[in-house]
C-alpha cells in the first residue's frame, strides 16, 4: 500500500486495482505542496472517501469527481448533497456498514466530532448539516488494513474498532483544539490500537492548532519508532505484516 500525505488530513492511497483520495482539501490548504496541482493529484483517481463535511476535508471533492468520473464514498447526507451538485457516482455508507468496491472494501467507524459545510467562513452563511462524522477503513487483499480516523477525540469504543477491523495503519489527528492533541492521540494509539505504522495528521496548517508532530512523537515514548511523520508530498510504502 502506497500512502501519500497531501497536507492536513488529505491522503492519496494506492492499492492494487484502485487509487483513492481521502479528504482531498488541496486548494486553500497551506500545507499542500506548492509544486503540486489538483490536476496532478487527481490523475488516475478511482475513488474519493470523505470522513465528514467540514470544508477542510471536503475541499476539492466535487471538482475532482467531475474531472475523473471517480466514485464518492461518504455518509448518506454527504452523498445526497453531492448528488444535488451533479455527482452521479455515489456510494452511501454509514457506521456499521461495509461495502466491497472490487479492489478494496470500505467501512465507516465512529468519530467524536461534528459534520457540516459552509460555503464561506463568514458567519452570515448558514451551515449545511451533513450527517455524522466518521473514520474510514480501507481493506484490500494482501495489503495492510488502513484506518483514517477523520477528526475525532479519544473514546473507549476505539477498542471495538481495533477488535473488529484490526487496522495495521492508523492515520491519526493530533493537532488539538478540534481533534485529539498529542497526549490523547498517543493514549488512543497505545491503549486501544495495535498499529504497525502511525501517520499523524491535522496539524501544521491552521495557526490555532499544533504546528508539528514533535509533541506527539515525544508522548509516544518507546513506541515512537512506529510513527511516520510524513512531510506533505511524501509517500510511504507499507507492506502487510506477517
What's the rounded mean pLDDT across residues 32-40?
97
> DSSP 3-state assignment of 182?
helix
Pull the grid cell for residue 165.
Answer: 477491523
Residue owning grid cell 484502485:
18
Structural domain contains residue 237: no
Q: CATH code at 7?
A: 3.60.15.10
State how many domains the chain has.
1
Name the β-bridge partners of 56.
Answer: none
Q: Considering the domain boundaries, does residue 196 fall inside one?
A: yes
What's the rounded mean pLDDT across residues 180-199? 98
Average pLDDT over residues 144-156: 98
Distances (CA, A) of 23 to 50, 173, 223: 5, 13, 27
Distance between CA 3 and CA 196 in Å, rounded? 14
Q: What is the dihedral of CA 101, 136, 143, 181, to 10 degrees?
A: 170
In a domain, 239, yes or no: no
- How large is the average pLDDT for residues 15-19? 98
Is residue 240 a part of any domain in this protein?
no
pLDDT at 206: 93
pLDDT given at position 118: 84
Which structural domain, as residue segments, surrounds residue 107?
2-230
Query: At 154, is the secondary structure helix, strand, or coil?
Result: coil
Please say whether the beta carbons of 151 and 116 come within 8 A: no
Amino acid at each position: 500500500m502506497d500512502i501519500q500525505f497531501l497536507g492536513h488530513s488529505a491522503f492519496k492511497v494506492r492499492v492494487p486495482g484502485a487509487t483513492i483520495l481521502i479528504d482531498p482539501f488541496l486548494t486553500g490548504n497551506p500545507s499542500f505542496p506548492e509544486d503540486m496541482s489538483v490536476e496532478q493529484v487527481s490523475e488516475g483517481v478511482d475513488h474519493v472517501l470523505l470522513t465528514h463535511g467540514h470544508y477542510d476535508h471536503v475541499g476539492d471533492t466535487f471538482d475532482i469527481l467531475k474531472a475523473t468520473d471517480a466514485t464518492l464514498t461518504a455518509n448518506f447526507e454527504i452523498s445526497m448533497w453531492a448528488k444535488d451538485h451533479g455527482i452521479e457516482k455515489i456510494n452511501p455508507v454509514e457506521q456499521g456498514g461495509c461495502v466491497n468496491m472490487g479492489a478494496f472494501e470500505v467501512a465507516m467507524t465512529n468519530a467524536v466530532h461534528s459534520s457540516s459545510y459552509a460555503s464561506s467562513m463568514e458567519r452570515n452563511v448558514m451551515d449545511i448539516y451533513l450527517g455524522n462524522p466518521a473514520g474510514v477503513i480501507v481493506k484490500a487483499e494482501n495489503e495492510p488494513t488502513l484506518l483514517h480516523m477523520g477528526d475525532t477525540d479519544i473514546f473507549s469504543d476505539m477498542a471495538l474498532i481495533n477488535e473488529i477491523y484490526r487496522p495495521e495503519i492508523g492515520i491519526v489527528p493530533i493537532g488539538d483544539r478540534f481533534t485529539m492533541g498529542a497526549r490523547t492521540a498517543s493514549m488512543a494509539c497505545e491503549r486501544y490500537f495495535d498499529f504497525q505504522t502511525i501517520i499523524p495528521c491535522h496539524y501544521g496548517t491552521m495557526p490555532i492548532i499544533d504546528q508539528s508532530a514533535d509533541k506527539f512523537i515525544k508522548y509516544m515514548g518507546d513506541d515512537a519508532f512506529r510513527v511516520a511523520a510524513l512531510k506533505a508530498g511524501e509517500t510511504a510504502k507499507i507492506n502487510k505484516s506477517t
